[in-house]
Protein backbone atom coordinates (compact mmCIF):
# COMPACT_ATOMS: atom_id res chain seq x y z
CA UNK A 1 0.00 0.00 0.00
CA UNK A 2 2.78 2.39 0.99
CA UNK A 3 4.60 1.50 -2.25
CA UNK A 4 1.48 2.38 -4.27
CA UNK A 5 1.10 5.70 -2.46
CA UNK A 6 4.75 6.54 -3.09
CA UNK A 7 4.40 5.61 -6.76
CA UNK A 8 1.30 7.74 -7.24
CA UNK A 9 2.96 10.62 -5.40
CA UNK A 10 6.07 10.35 -7.57
CA UNK A 11 4.04 10.32 -10.78
CA UNK A 12 2.01 13.29 -9.58
CA UNK A 13 5.19 15.16 -8.75
CA UNK A 14 6.60 14.47 -12.22
CA UNK A 15 3.39 15.62 -13.89
CA UNK A 16 3.23 18.73 -11.70
CA UNK A 17 6.85 19.52 -12.43
CA UNK A 18 6.29 19.14 -16.17
CA UNK A 19 3.35 21.54 -16.05
CA UNK A 20 4.68 24.19 -13.67
CA UNK A 21 8.29 24.29 -14.82
CA UNK A 22 7.75 24.80 -18.53
CA UNK A 23 10.91 26.31 -19.94
CA UNK A 24 11.88 27.13 -23.51
CA UNK A 25 15.36 27.86 -24.80
CA UNK A 26 16.31 29.90 -27.84
CA UNK A 27 19.38 31.65 -29.20
CA UNK A 28 20.54 33.58 -32.20
CA UNK A 29 20.13 37.12 -33.57
CA UNK A 30 21.15 39.99 -31.29
CA UNK A 31 19.15 42.44 -33.45
CA UNK A 32 15.84 41.66 -31.64
CA UNK A 33 17.37 40.86 -28.22
CA UNK A 34 16.05 43.98 -26.41
CA UNK A 35 12.43 43.34 -27.41
CA UNK A 36 12.71 39.58 -26.77
CA UNK A 37 14.08 40.35 -23.31
CA UNK A 38 11.08 42.54 -22.55
CA UNK A 39 8.58 40.09 -24.03
CA UNK A 40 9.98 37.03 -22.24
CA UNK A 41 9.96 38.83 -18.90
CA UNK A 42 6.34 39.96 -19.31
CA UNK A 43 5.30 36.49 -20.54
CA UNK A 44 6.87 34.84 -17.52
CA UNK A 45 4.93 37.16 -15.20
CA UNK A 46 1.70 36.52 -17.08
CA UNK A 47 1.94 32.74 -17.50
CA UNK A 48 4.77 31.37 -15.34
CA UNK A 49 6.46 30.01 -18.46
CA UNK A 50 10.18 30.83 -18.68
CA UNK A 51 11.53 31.62 -22.14
CA UNK A 52 15.31 31.96 -22.28
CA UNK A 53 16.86 33.74 -25.25
CA UNK A 54 20.63 34.16 -25.71
CA UNK A 55 21.73 36.76 -28.32
CA UNK A 56 24.66 34.94 -29.93
CA UNK A 57 24.20 36.14 -33.52
CA UNK A 58 22.13 34.85 -36.44
CA UNK A 59 24.86 32.52 -37.67
CA UNK A 60 25.00 30.74 -34.34
CA UNK A 61 21.20 30.65 -34.15
CA UNK A 62 20.92 28.91 -37.53
CA UNK A 63 23.69 26.49 -36.60
CA UNK A 64 22.04 25.72 -33.23
CA UNK A 65 18.58 25.00 -34.65
CA UNK A 66 20.02 22.77 -37.39
CA UNK A 67 21.81 20.80 -34.64
CA UNK A 68 18.55 20.77 -32.60
CA UNK A 69 20.40 22.11 -29.55
CA UNK A 70 17.68 24.73 -28.85
CA UNK A 71 13.88 24.85 -28.98
CA UNK A 72 13.85 27.81 -31.37
CA UNK A 73 16.32 30.15 -33.03
CA UNK A 74 16.37 33.77 -34.10
CA UNK A 75 17.82 34.92 -37.42
CA UNK A 76 17.80 38.27 -39.19
CA UNK A 77 18.78 36.45 -42.35
CA UNK A 78 15.70 34.67 -43.69
CA UNK A 79 16.26 31.17 -45.03
CA UNK A 80 14.88 30.29 -48.45
CA UNK A 81 12.20 27.58 -48.62
CA UNK A 82 14.65 25.12 -50.18
CA UNK A 83 17.05 25.41 -47.23
CA UNK A 84 14.19 25.20 -44.74
CA UNK A 85 13.01 21.98 -46.38
CA UNK A 86 16.54 20.55 -46.37
CA UNK A 87 16.90 21.06 -42.62
CA UNK A 88 13.22 20.41 -41.80
CA UNK A 89 12.55 23.87 -40.40
CA UNK A 90 9.61 26.25 -40.15
CA UNK A 91 10.09 30.04 -40.27
CA UNK A 92 8.03 33.14 -39.55
CA UNK A 93 8.79 36.86 -38.83
CA UNK A 94 8.61 38.23 -35.29
CA UNK A 95 9.10 41.99 -35.61
CA UNK A 96 10.66 44.64 -37.86
CA UNK A 97 13.68 46.69 -36.80
CA UNK A 98 16.21 49.02 -38.35
CA UNK A 99 19.95 49.43 -38.67
CA UNK A 100 21.44 52.84 -37.95
CA UNK A 101 24.86 54.29 -38.63
CA UNK A 102 26.01 55.41 -35.19
CA UNK A 103 29.11 57.55 -34.82
CA UNK A 104 31.49 59.13 -32.32
CA UNK A 105 32.71 62.49 -33.66
CA UNK A 106 33.39 65.40 -31.31
CA UNK A 107 30.98 68.27 -31.87
CA UNK A 108 28.61 66.35 -34.15
CA UNK A 109 25.27 65.77 -32.45
CA UNK A 110 22.56 63.20 -33.07
CA UNK A 111 21.08 63.47 -36.56
CA UNK A 112 23.44 66.24 -37.70
CA UNK A 113 25.61 64.04 -39.91
CA UNK A 114 24.13 63.38 -43.34
CA UNK A 115 25.39 60.36 -45.25
CA UNK A 116 24.62 59.96 -48.91
CA UNK A 117 24.53 56.54 -50.49
CA UNK A 118 27.81 57.38 -52.22
CA UNK A 119 29.40 58.42 -48.92
CA UNK A 120 28.32 55.22 -47.13
CA UNK A 121 29.78 53.08 -49.90
CA UNK A 122 33.01 55.11 -49.77
CA UNK A 123 33.34 54.75 -45.99
CA UNK A 124 32.81 51.00 -45.88
CA UNK A 125 34.91 50.31 -48.98
CA UNK A 126 37.80 52.41 -47.68
CA UNK A 127 37.67 54.93 -50.53
CA UNK A 128 36.89 57.65 -47.97
CA UNK A 129 39.63 57.34 -45.36
CA UNK A 130 39.15 60.60 -43.42
CA UNK A 131 36.07 62.36 -42.10
CA UNK A 132 36.65 65.50 -44.16
CA UNK A 133 36.76 63.55 -47.42
CA UNK A 134 34.87 65.53 -50.11
CA UNK A 135 32.28 62.77 -50.62
CA UNK A 136 31.20 63.20 -46.97
CA UNK A 137 31.83 66.93 -46.62
CA UNK A 138 29.69 68.00 -49.59
CA UNK A 139 26.45 67.16 -47.71
CA UNK A 140 27.72 68.47 -44.36
CA UNK A 141 28.89 72.02 -45.08
CA UNK A 142 27.60 73.28 -41.73
CA UNK A 143 29.62 70.72 -39.76
CA UNK A 144 33.25 70.91 -38.77
CA UNK A 145 34.36 67.42 -39.71
CA UNK A 146 37.85 66.51 -38.49
CA UNK A 147 40.77 65.63 -40.72
CA UNK A 148 41.05 62.31 -38.91
CA UNK A 149 41.04 58.67 -40.01
CA UNK A 150 37.67 56.91 -39.97
CA UNK A 151 37.48 53.78 -37.81
CA UNK A 152 34.79 51.41 -39.07
CA UNK A 153 33.11 49.28 -36.38
CA UNK A 154 31.77 45.95 -37.67
CA UNK A 155 30.66 42.56 -36.40
CA UNK A 156 33.16 39.86 -35.49
CA UNK A 157 30.59 37.05 -35.70
CA UNK A 158 28.35 35.77 -38.48
CA UNK A 159 25.55 38.27 -38.22
CA UNK A 160 22.08 38.82 -39.61
CA UNK A 161 22.52 42.53 -38.94
CA UNK A 162 25.58 42.39 -41.20
CA UNK A 163 23.61 40.42 -43.80
CA UNK A 164 20.95 43.12 -43.94
CA UNK A 165 23.45 45.97 -43.91
CA UNK A 166 25.49 44.43 -46.75
CA UNK A 167 22.20 43.84 -48.60
CA UNK A 168 21.72 47.63 -48.45
CA UNK A 169 25.34 48.25 -49.46
CA UNK A 170 24.91 45.93 -52.44
CA UNK A 171 21.88 47.96 -53.53
CA UNK A 172 23.96 51.12 -53.68
CA UNK A 173 27.19 49.53 -54.96
CA UNK A 174 27.16 46.07 -56.53
CA UNK A 175 30.84 45.51 -55.64
CA UNK A 176 29.71 44.79 -52.06
CA UNK A 177 28.81 41.16 -51.49
CA UNK A 178 25.78 40.29 -49.36
CA UNK A 179 27.21 38.30 -46.46
CA UNK A 180 26.85 37.52 -42.76
CA UNK A 181 30.63 38.04 -42.38
CA UNK A 182 32.24 39.90 -45.29
CA UNK A 183 35.81 40.99 -45.75
CA UNK A 184 35.87 44.73 -45.10
CA UNK A 185 38.18 46.87 -47.25
CA UNK A 186 38.31 49.96 -45.01
CA UNK A 187 41.85 50.63 -43.68
CA UNK A 188 40.83 50.93 -40.01
CA UNK A 189 38.37 48.25 -38.89
CA UNK A 190 37.48 47.17 -35.35
CA UNK A 191 35.35 44.08 -34.74
CA UNK A 192 32.84 43.49 -31.96
CA UNK A 193 30.70 40.49 -31.09
CA UNK A 194 26.95 41.09 -31.38
CA UNK A 195 25.22 44.46 -31.61
CA UNK A 196 26.29 45.25 -28.05
CA UNK A 197 29.95 44.70 -28.92
CA UNK A 198 29.82 47.03 -31.91
CA UNK A 199 27.98 49.62 -29.81
CA UNK A 200 30.66 49.44 -27.13
CA UNK A 201 33.43 49.93 -29.71
CA UNK A 202 31.78 53.01 -31.19
CA UNK A 203 31.35 54.54 -27.72
CA UNK A 204 35.00 53.93 -26.87
CA UNK A 205 36.69 54.95 -30.13
CA UNK A 206 36.79 58.56 -31.31
CA UNK A 207 36.03 59.19 -34.99
CA UNK A 208 34.40 55.79 -35.38
CA UNK A 209 31.21 54.76 -37.19
CA UNK A 210 29.38 51.45 -37.24
CA UNK A 211 26.07 49.75 -37.97
CA UNK A 212 23.85 48.74 -35.04
CA UNK A 213 20.18 48.02 -34.43
CA UNK A 214 18.22 51.13 -33.44
CA UNK A 215 17.34 50.02 -29.90
CA UNK A 216 21.06 49.77 -29.09
CA UNK A 217 21.44 53.38 -30.25
CA UNK A 218 18.61 54.41 -27.93
CA UNK A 219 20.01 52.52 -24.96
CA UNK A 220 23.58 53.77 -25.48
CA UNK A 221 22.71 57.37 -26.34
CA UNK A 222 24.96 57.29 -29.41
CA UNK A 223 24.22 59.76 -32.21
CA UNK A 224 23.15 58.36 -35.57
CA UNK A 225 23.26 59.73 -39.10
CA UNK A 226 20.56 60.75 -41.50
CA UNK A 227 20.72 58.27 -44.38
CA UNK A 228 19.83 58.96 -48.01
CA UNK A 229 17.05 56.70 -49.26
CA UNK A 230 16.21 55.48 -52.75
CA UNK A 231 14.22 58.64 -53.44
CA UNK A 232 17.29 60.75 -52.67
CA UNK A 233 15.93 62.08 -49.37
CA UNK A 234 17.99 62.23 -46.18
CA UNK A 235 15.95 60.42 -43.53
CA UNK A 236 16.44 60.44 -39.77
CA UNK A 237 16.07 57.07 -38.02
CA UNK A 238 12.72 57.30 -36.23
CA UNK A 239 9.92 54.82 -35.55
CA UNK A 240 7.74 56.77 -38.01
CA UNK A 241 10.29 56.45 -40.84
CA UNK A 242 10.72 52.74 -40.04
CA UNK A 243 6.94 52.26 -40.21
CA UNK A 244 6.88 53.98 -43.59
CA UNK A 245 9.54 51.56 -44.81
CA UNK A 246 7.87 48.46 -43.32
CA UNK A 247 4.73 49.10 -45.39
CA UNK A 248 6.60 47.78 -48.41
CA UNK A 249 7.27 44.36 -46.87
CA UNK A 250 5.61 41.51 -48.75
CA UNK A 251 5.26 38.24 -46.85
CA UNK A 252 3.44 35.06 -47.78
CA UNK A 253 3.00 31.84 -45.83
CA UNK A 254 3.38 29.97 -49.11
CA UNK A 255 7.08 30.91 -49.18
CA UNK A 256 7.59 30.55 -45.40
CA UNK A 257 7.54 34.36 -45.22
CA UNK A 258 10.88 34.70 -47.00
CA UNK A 259 11.54 38.41 -47.66
CA UNK A 260 14.38 40.90 -47.43
CA UNK A 261 12.91 44.38 -47.07
CA UNK A 262 16.00 46.62 -47.07
CA UNK A 263 16.13 49.77 -49.22
CA UNK A 264 12.38 50.10 -49.85
CA UNK A 265 10.56 52.65 -51.99
CA UNK A 266 8.94 55.79 -50.60
CA UNK A 267 9.99 59.41 -50.06
CA UNK A 268 9.76 59.10 -46.26
CA UNK A 269 11.08 55.54 -45.85
CA UNK A 270 14.20 54.97 -43.78
CA UNK A 271 16.31 52.77 -46.07
CA UNK A 272 18.02 50.22 -43.78
CA UNK A 273 15.20 48.14 -42.29
CA UNK A 274 14.95 44.42 -41.65
CA UNK A 275 12.62 41.80 -40.29
CA UNK A 276 13.86 39.26 -37.79
CA UNK A 277 12.68 35.65 -37.98
CA UNK A 278 12.04 32.62 -35.79
CA UNK A 279 13.14 29.12 -36.84
CA UNK A 280 11.51 25.96 -35.49
CA UNK A 281 12.37 22.25 -35.91
CA UNK A 282 9.50 20.70 -37.86
CA UNK A 283 9.44 17.38 -35.99
CA UNK A 284 8.98 18.84 -32.49
CA UNK A 285 5.27 19.61 -32.62
CA UNK A 286 4.62 19.71 -28.87
CA UNK A 287 7.51 22.07 -28.14
CA UNK A 288 6.65 24.19 -31.16
CA UNK A 289 3.12 24.65 -29.80
CA UNK A 290 4.62 26.14 -26.63
CA UNK A 291 6.92 28.41 -28.64
CA UNK A 292 4.12 29.75 -30.84
CA UNK A 293 1.97 30.32 -27.74
CA UNK A 294 4.65 32.73 -26.60
CA UNK A 295 4.84 34.56 -29.93
CA UNK A 296 1.05 34.65 -30.25
CA UNK A 297 0.96 36.23 -26.80
CA UNK A 298 3.62 38.74 -27.90
CA UNK A 299 1.65 39.57 -31.06
CA UNK A 300 -1.40 40.30 -28.89
CA UNK A 301 0.29 42.02 -25.95
CA UNK A 302 3.74 43.19 -27.01
CA UNK A 303 3.21 45.84 -29.71
CA UNK A 304 3.54 48.83 -27.38
CA UNK A 305 6.69 47.41 -25.82
CA UNK A 306 8.17 46.83 -29.28
CA UNK A 307 7.35 50.37 -30.42
CA UNK A 308 8.75 51.88 -27.20
CA UNK A 309 12.04 50.10 -27.92
CA UNK A 310 12.14 51.40 -31.48
CA UNK A 311 10.83 48.34 -33.35
CA UNK A 312 7.87 48.14 -35.72
CA UNK A 313 5.23 45.56 -34.78
CA UNK A 314 3.93 43.35 -37.57
CA UNK A 315 0.65 44.40 -39.22
CA UNK A 316 -2.46 42.57 -38.02
CA UNK A 317 -2.89 41.01 -41.47
CA UNK A 318 0.63 39.52 -41.31
CA UNK A 319 -0.01 38.14 -37.82
CA UNK A 320 -3.19 36.47 -39.09
CA UNK A 321 -1.25 34.97 -42.00
CA UNK A 322 1.33 33.60 -39.54
CA UNK A 323 -1.42 32.00 -37.44
CA UNK A 324 -2.77 30.30 -40.59
CA UNK A 325 0.76 29.03 -41.26
CA UNK A 326 1.01 27.62 -37.74
CA UNK A 327 -2.35 25.87 -38.15
CA UNK A 328 -1.25 24.34 -41.45
CA UNK A 329 1.86 22.99 -39.72
CA UNK A 330 -0.24 21.57 -36.85
CA UNK A 331 1.44 23.66 -34.15
CA UNK A 332 -1.35 26.10 -33.24
Give, rounded to a whole angstrom, the gap between the first and last alpha carbons of the chain. 42
- pLDDT band for position 18 (50/70/90)? very low
What pLDDT does residue 17 have?
Answer: 35
What pLDDT does residue 9 have?
Answer: 38
Nearest to residue 241, comparing CAs of 195, 310, 152? Answer: 310
Query: For the segment 189-247, what is each residue's pLDDT rounded down to a tens digit?
Result: 999 999 999 999 999 999 999 999 999 999 999 999 999 999 999 999 999 999 999 99
What pLDDT does residue 6 have?
Answer: 36
Residue 5 confidence (pLDDT) above 50: no
Query: For the segment 82-116, what is each residue's pLDDT rounded down to a tens digit?
Result: 999 999 999 999 999 999 999 999 999 999 999 99
Query: For the segment 245-261, what is each residue's pLDDT rounded down to a tens digit?
Result: 999 988 999 999 999 98
Supply the DSSP symbol for 74: E
Residue 61 confidence (pLDDT) above 80: yes
Mean pLDDT of the 120-140 span: 98
pTM here is 0.87
- Find the length of the chain: 332
- pLDDT band for position 22 (50/70/90)? confident
What pLDDT does residue 303 have?
Answer: 97
Whole-number Å distance between alpha carbons of 153 and 208? 7
- pLDDT band for position 20 (50/70/90)? very low
| CB 250, CB 259: distance < 8 Å | yes
Residue 138 confidence (pLDDT) above 90: yes
What pLDDT does residue 66 have?
Answer: 98
Residue 12 confidence (pLDDT) above 60: no
Residue 2 confidence (pLDDT) above 90: no
Mean pLDDT of the 292-297 span: 98
Residue 19 confidence (pLDDT) above 90: no
Q: Is 150 helix (H, G, I), strand (E, B) or coil?
A: coil
> Helix, strand, coil proportions of the chain in percent (round to 5)?
40, 20, 35
Mean pLDDT of the 305-322 span: 94
Residue ranges of domains in the chain, CATH in brackets = 23-97+248-260+274-328 (3.40.190.10), 99-246 (3.40.190.10)
Mean of pLDDT over the chain? 93
Amino acid sequence: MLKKILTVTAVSAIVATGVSATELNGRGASFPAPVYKAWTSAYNKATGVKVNYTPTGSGDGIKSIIKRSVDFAGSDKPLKPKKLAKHKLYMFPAVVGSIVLAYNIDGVKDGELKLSREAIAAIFSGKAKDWDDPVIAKDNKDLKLPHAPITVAVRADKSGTTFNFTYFLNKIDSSFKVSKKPHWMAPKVVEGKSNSGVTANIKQIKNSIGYIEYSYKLESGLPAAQVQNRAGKFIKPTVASFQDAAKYAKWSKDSDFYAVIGDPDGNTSYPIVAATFILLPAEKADTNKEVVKFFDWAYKNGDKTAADLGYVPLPASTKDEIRKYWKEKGIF
